[in-house]
Structure 1
């Protein structure tokens, strides 16, 4: 009897890109169940909070019966244990990713020896793609269609419009006209007259 295999695909996903979606589809072909685990990420600031990121991802994977979305705020290996995952999926875009991912894989193996790490490469057209790059392009008003799913693009554009709205500076109160006229009409103070000294 073949046991169902569950894979955990953890990440910040701020925002979820077509590269992430590509890896999700690849993992779904290899495993019986894929759980996208969205990290709360208290160590680095995110544009969207964890609930917003989960809400953005769910429509993107709606038609994929083997895929579900959860969030976590503790160690990723603890999340893997909770969902019953035997494997963690990590994406490798380029050689530069490997050193960091290799170190993380070794640490996770130390923390949870029963959980294997599987590295997947995205399709060639997504090897350059990452969430930080998408946010920078969007902030500068550049096109991000084709980089993120349509629903993600709409929410990203809306969020950036809110964060970029300049704060209204308080307008200083104008001086009363009467006071200004009185100051202009006041005679000049005679020069050379100081305080009268005591005798």
Structure 2
């Protein structure tokens, strides 16, 4: 009997971007099951509530049958282990993420040497996309086609609504 290959992609997904979605799509083809772990950090000010983030992630990954979404708090390695997985997926953007992700991978290895980190390089179309960048664009642009270059279309209306509520 073959053991299913379960991978876990953790993040805040506040909100989910096209870059995140591209990593999710690629990782879903590499593993039997991909769990999207939405981190809950009460000390961090989030744009969307955990439930809203889950709903948005589910909305844009609904067509990927082997992808599920769960919340976690605490250490990502503990969450990965609790799911019976030994693989963390991390998306990296050239130059901006490599040092931080490498440091995190080394710390995770110290916490649990059996958990491996698989890095997927962001496609050049998404290498510059970040949640903070798209929040800036959403504040000053009322052109949905501009936001659609950074987030899935399903995210635009909720993003605009949250930006109005937070102003």
TM-score, normalized by the shorter chain, greater than 0.5 = yes
Structure 1 position 151 matched with structure 2 position 150 = no
Secondary structure of 1:46's aligned partner = coil
- Output aligned runs, 1:110-149, within 5 Å: 110-141=110-141, 143-149=146-152
User: 2:95 aligned with 1:56, yes or no?
Assistant: no
Change in Cα spacing, 1:103 to 1:43, as seen in structure 2 (3 Å) is farther
How many residues of Structure 1 are paired with residues of Structure 2 in the alignment? 164
CA distance in 2, matches of 1:41, 1:122: 25
Task: Indicate the larger mover: 78-87 or 14-23.
Answer: 78-87
Separation in structure 2 between the aligned mates of residue 60 and residue 83 of structure 1, nearest angstrom = 22
| 8 A contact 2:94–2:122 mirrored in 1 | no
Instruction: Tell which structure's C-alpha radius of gyration is larger.
Output: 1
Moved over 4 A (4+): none
Tell me which residue corresponds to 1:194. Answer: none
Question: What's the CA shift for 1:138?
Answer: 0.3
Q: Cα deviation per residue 1:49-88 (whole Å; 9 max; x = unaligned)?
A: 1111011110100010110000111111111112122100
Q: How much does 1:154 deviate?
A: 1.0
CA RMSD of aligned residues (A): 1.2
1:163 maps to 166
- Structure with greater contact order relative to length (CA < 8 Å, sep ≥ 6): 2
Preserved contact between residue 40 and residue 50 of structure 1 (Cα < 8 Å): yes
Unaligned runs of 5+ in 1: 165-199
TM-score normalised per structure 1? 0.79
What displacement does 1:42 show? Answer: 2.8
> Could you tell me whether the CA contact under 8 Å between 1:89 and 1:117 is conserved in 2?
yes
Report the counterpart of residue 73 of structure 1 in structure 2.
73
CA contact (8 A) 1:40 1:49 kept: no
Where in structure 2 are there 5+ consecutive unaligned residues? Answer: none
